[in-house]
A = this chain, B = another copy of it.
Amino acid sequence: MKKKEHILIIGAGLCGSLLALRMGQRGYRVTLVEKRPDLREVDQDAGRSINLALSDRGLRGLRLAGVEEAALALCIPMNGRMIHPAHGEPFLSAYSGRENEYINSVSRPGLNKLLLDAAEELDSVSIIFNHSCESVILENAAATFTNHATGKTVTMKGDILIGADGAGSAVRKSMFQDRQLLFSFSQQWLTHGYKEIEIPAAKNGGYRTYKNALHIWPRGEDMLIALPNLDGSFTVTLFLPYKDSDYCFENLTSAEKVIEYFETEFPDAVSLMPNLIDEFFTHPTGPLGTIKCSPWSSYGKTLLMGDAAHAIVPFYGQGMNASFEDVVVFDAILAENEGQWETIFSKYESVRKKDTDAIADLAVDNFHEMKEHTASALFQQKRKLELEFEREFPKEYHSKYSLVTFNEKISYSQALRQGRAQDKAILNLLDDGSLPKTLSLREKLRLVQKTTQELLHDDAVAQNLK
């Protein structure tokens, strides 16, 4: 049997670690290179996205590599959004009308450690930390790195090089600069930035607010969210415009102004965050961007995966899940085409890119939906009807959110097409008064399904030209 190739993976974050583990399990020799120190030894990332939402597509990737159970042990189920309106009591808005459909809050470093431990157990995988990739020789699957311990430059070469080095990918930059490739590229920033604040655990180690939900304080232009951690704390994230708003990062420059803002907009949250001011002024303000590009591979030697190929904003909770699903899709194509890397890369992109494009667009849509959640009565009516459909007809109706989050067998692009058509159908039927109380829920469902099919049909006819 032909000896399997040596795979050089740049970036030992969530995607790179899972990929290294899976490629190692398949018998490839893997070298995994990370610019930062080993996060199992050195604490890092203070104030930057320390927890994430893990759902079905991500779990599928972990299952493939045999680490799903271990990951679930790190998870806190979140059954819905706990909405904290500007006026009135908080209320829980379920993610689904089906009880078994929920998402999980998980610690990014915790999950990363688990994946690194599992990969390191394999003889075929070696992991090198503290080496940052400076440039890539794309056609040779080789890269030069700076060793942060010695300050020296070293070159490493694989048979294949995979860039899983995140939104700021050095591998992607090398592809961008290669004029031969005609590299299509887009980076789109939201007008908002984000900042993380902590709700510490209660004195007894319990939770200071309801544990099993993703908390949201939607305020139209800005928004606060909070996800629970295993230690009783919550990680709170503020999403706020950089400028041109009554309150924005540009003008929240004094403790008084920050207090005024939080007391005005989020009074029930202020008392839960004792270190608000200190953290507000010491934690970094991060930008929120979407990155798309193509081609994902070059010269049959080098491939981009995860955020390096498709960074998305966090508002669908799908960034990590999409990256783990990348590994699942790639693994299946690899299994059928071993050794034919050019074919593997081109099949992978042709199958996968339309889906990562779709989740990128859905995530931006959801940013607007989340922060304006309470503003639209029509949206609330739609959401109520959808939950009734899901409860009464669990096999017949899935909301856009359910299609994206809980239906790993439906691709993101199908979920986008079907979900947007459903939303449009329901909103228009409600707006027309075509769903009166005199109709039974079954009759309403039939009408929504019929209208959805008509909308999809009309789009298909119009697009046949393209």
Which A residues lie at the B interface, using CB under 8 A?
182-189, 242, 287, 289, 365, 368-369, 372, 376, 378-379, 420, 423-424, 427-428, 431, 455, 458-459, 461-462, 464-466
Contacts and interface: CB of A to CB of B under 8 A. Distances in A.
A462 B376 contact: no
Nearest to A379: B465
A287 B189 CA distance: 27
A424 B458 contact: yes
Contact of A182 (B189, B365, B424): B189
B466 A365 contact: yes
Q: What is the total number of copies of this protein in its complex?
A: 2
Given A184-B189, A185-B187, A378-B465, 18 more contacts: A182-B189, A182-B289, A183-B187, A184-B188, A368-B465, A369-B466, A372-B465, A376-B464, A378-B461, A378-B464, A420-B462, A424-B462, A427-B461, A427-B464, A428-B458, A428-B461, A428-B462, A431-B461
12 contacts: A182-B189, A182-B289, A185-B185, A186-B187, A186-B188, A368-B465, A378-B461, A378-B465, A427-B461, A427-B464, A428-B462, A455-B458
Nearest to A193: B182
A430 to B, nearest CB: 9
A182 B427 contact: no
Contact of A466 (B182, B368, B466): B368
A31 B369 CA distance: 48
A376 to B, nearest CB: 6
B465 A369 contact: yes
A186 B189 contact: no
A466 to B, nearest CB: 5
A457 B246 CA distance: 33
A269 B376 CA distance: 59
Contacts of A423: 462, 465
A457 to B, nearest CB: 8
Nearest to A181: B189
B189 A376 contact: no
A129 to B, nearest CB: 26
Contacts of A372: 465
Contacts of A420: 462
Nearest to A420: B462
Contacts of A188: 184, 186
Contacts of A455: 458
Contacts of A431: 461
Contacts of A184: 187-189
A50 to B, nearest CB: 23
Contacts of A183: 187, 189
A311 to B, nearest CB: 13
Identify which of A182, A189, A289, A427 gathers the most chain B CB atoms within 10 Å of its CB.
A182
